[in-house]
């Protein structure tokens, strides 16, 4: 029969052996470093939840050597400014609407085609598959490296003027849109005065009535407290936003194989977590917006058909600029996902 002392000795020996096995090279090729991760949504938003999950995973996988410091709420500037900072290496990471990257690689504009996806899971199949990875690969020459696609959800329209109950009700409203040409053209086609603004400037613009409304997923509308300055919300679901998770090529190229492995694994795990968090939050955000005093409307099928007809010329225009072959490939991948 073993004594307490012998049992303790065996335990200590086993622990020492485990440490000896793990220690050599476990973090040998991992340097102490801080990664600045900037994004537009506020703390508590599913985007921020995903970023925090990524930070926690990187810390754990690197033995605390790599620190990911989060900068939510556009504190380091709007999306275009942040992308420029990644290219220059002054900010290491961001996550943003993939369509905004059309300024770098024109094919990314295809993600912002109106009424493209029927569900988030359908989008996952396309973005995780050959089409999505091909677009990410095109960013390498633009000093950016793609790590995956997150979920922002379906965009809906809000305003402070009137309920939108038919397609023609959008005409005449001054609507803030993201800084992407297809958004400007789309809301122009709907008769609105489309006004591109960086996200950090949006709440003040709504509060001061510089714009009448905006369009974002319900989770963003809730976390950004737009219910304080917007009365009406219409569930148009006009665009689904996959978000691109990016790291600066300058940072990526300076990492060891071990560090890249840590970042890739953390990104994959955080992506699965973030998508689930985002879609779960979308289910409850609309109820919270109702409780906050917003009036909710849904367009009947015949009015949704009118919206689709109004924006078809925009889709045709950007099909020509993005490239018919690219759009054909995207549509074929969507059809595969639906089957």
Domains in the chain, CATH or no CATH each = 32-338 (3.40.190.170)
Residue 61 has pLDDT above 50, yes or no: yes
Phi, psi of 319 (to 5 degrees): -65, -40
In terms of Cβ atoms closer than 10 Å to its own Cβ (0-12, 13-18, 19+), residue 306 is middle
Whether residue 251 contacts residue 90, with contact meaning beta carbons closer than 8 Å, is answered with: no
Give the residue-averaged pLDDT of 255-267.
Answer: 97
The residue length of the chain stands at 339
Whether residue 178 contacts residue 40, with contact meaning beta carbons closer than 8 Å, is answered with: no
CA distance 110 to 257: 33
Q: What is the DSSP string of 59-92?
A: HHHTTT-EEEEEE-TTTT--HHHHHHHHHHTSS-
CA distance 78 to 137: 24
Q: What is the pLDDT of residue 283?
A: 79
Q: What is the SS3 assignment for 54?
A: helix
pLDDT digits (tens, 9 = 90+) for 98-144: 999 999 999 999 999 999 999 999 999 999 999 999 999 999 999 99
Q: What is the pLDDT of residue 77?
A: 94
Residue 23 pLDDT class (50, 70, 90 cuts): very low
Q: What is the SS3 assignment for 239?
A: coil
Spell out a b/e string for 68-98, using b for 16 or more CB atoms within 10 Å of the CB, else e: bebbbbbebbbbeebbebbbeeebbbbbbbb
pLDDT digits (tens, 9 = 90+) for 282-339: 879 999 999 999 999 999 999 999 999 999 999 999 999 999 999 999 999 999 999 8
Residue 20 pLDDT class (50, 70, 90 cuts): very low
Whether residue 312 contacts residue 95, with contact meaning beta carbons closer than 8 Å, is answered with: no
> Which residue carries 């409850």 as its tokens?
284
pTM of the model: 0.86
Q: What is the pLDDT of residue 19?
A: 37
Q: What is the pLDDT of residue 27?
A: 66
* Phi-psi region at 216: left, alpha or beta (left = phi > 0; alpha = psi -120 to 50): beta
Residue 65 pLDDT class (50, 70, 90 cuts): very high
């Amino acid at each position: 029969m073993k004594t307490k002392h012998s049992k303790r000795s065996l335990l200590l020996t086993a622990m020492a052996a485990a440490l000896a096995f793990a220690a050599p090279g476990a973090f040998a090729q991992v340097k102490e470093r801080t990664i600045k991760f900037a994004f537009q949504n506020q703390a508590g938003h599913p985007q921020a939840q995903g970023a925090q999950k990524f930070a926690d995973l990187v810390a754990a996988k690197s033995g605390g050597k790599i620190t990911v410091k989060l900068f939510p709420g556009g504190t380091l500037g709007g999306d275009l400014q942040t992308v420029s900072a990644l290219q220059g290496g002054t900010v290491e990471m961001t996550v943003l609407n993939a369509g905004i990257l059309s300024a770098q690689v024109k094919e990314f504009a295809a993600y912002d085609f109106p009424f493209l996806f029927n569900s988030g899971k359908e989008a996952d199949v396309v973005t995780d598959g050959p089409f999505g990875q091909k677009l990410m690969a095109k960013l390498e020459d633009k000093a950016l490296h793609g790590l995956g696609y997150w979920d922002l959800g379906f965009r809906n329209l809000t305003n402070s003027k009137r309920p939108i109950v038919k397609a023609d009700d959008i005409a005449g409203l001054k609507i803030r849109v993201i800084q992407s040409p297809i958004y400007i053209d789309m809301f122009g086609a709907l008769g609105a005065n489309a006004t591109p603004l960086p996200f950090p400037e949006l709440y003040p613009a709504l509060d001061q009535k510089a714009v009448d409304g905006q369009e974002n997923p319900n989770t963003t509308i809730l976390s950004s407290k737009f219910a304080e300055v917007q009365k009406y919300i219409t569930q148009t679901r006009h665009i689904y936003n996959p978000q691109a998770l990016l790291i600066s090529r300058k940072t990526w190229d300076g990492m060891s194989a071990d560090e890249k492995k840590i970042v890739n694994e953390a990104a994959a795990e955080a992506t699965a977590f973030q998508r689930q968090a985002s879609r779960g939050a979308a289910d409850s955000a609309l109820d919270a917006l109702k409780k906050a005093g917003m009036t909710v409307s849904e367009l009947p099928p015949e009015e949704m058909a009118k919206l689709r007809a109004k924006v078809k010329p925009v889709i045709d225009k950007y099909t020509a600029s993005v490239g018919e072959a690219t759009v054909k490939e995207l549509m074929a991948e969507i059809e595969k996902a639906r089957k």
